[in-house]
Amino acid sequence: MKYLSTGLLGLILTVGCVPPKTTVTPLSSKTYSPRPQDCDIQILTQPPSNRKYEEIAILNTVTGDGGRDLNAMLPSIKMVACGLGADAILIKNVEPGDPAQNAVGKAYTVAIKFLD
Of 78, 50, 67, 79, nearest in space to 104 by CA = 67
Cα 33 to the center of its chain, rounded Å: 19
Q: Walk along the chain (116 residues) and give the pLDDT tens digit of each residue.
A: 444 444 444 444 444 567 889 999 999 999 999 999 889 999 999 999 999 999 999 999 998 765 678 888 999 999 999 999 999 999 999 988 877 777 788 999 999 999 98
> Are 47 and 92 in contact, with CB atoms under 8 Å apart?
no
The pLDDT, as a whole number, for residue 100 is 72
Q: Taking the alpha carbons of 101, 104, 107, 108 in that order, is the dihedral positive or negative?
A: negative
H or E segment at 13?
A: helix 2-15
* Domains of the chain by start residue, with CATH: 18-114 (3.30.110)
Instruction: Report the alpha-carbon distance of residue 19 to residue 34 in Å, rounded.
Output: 22
pTM over the 0.85 mark: no
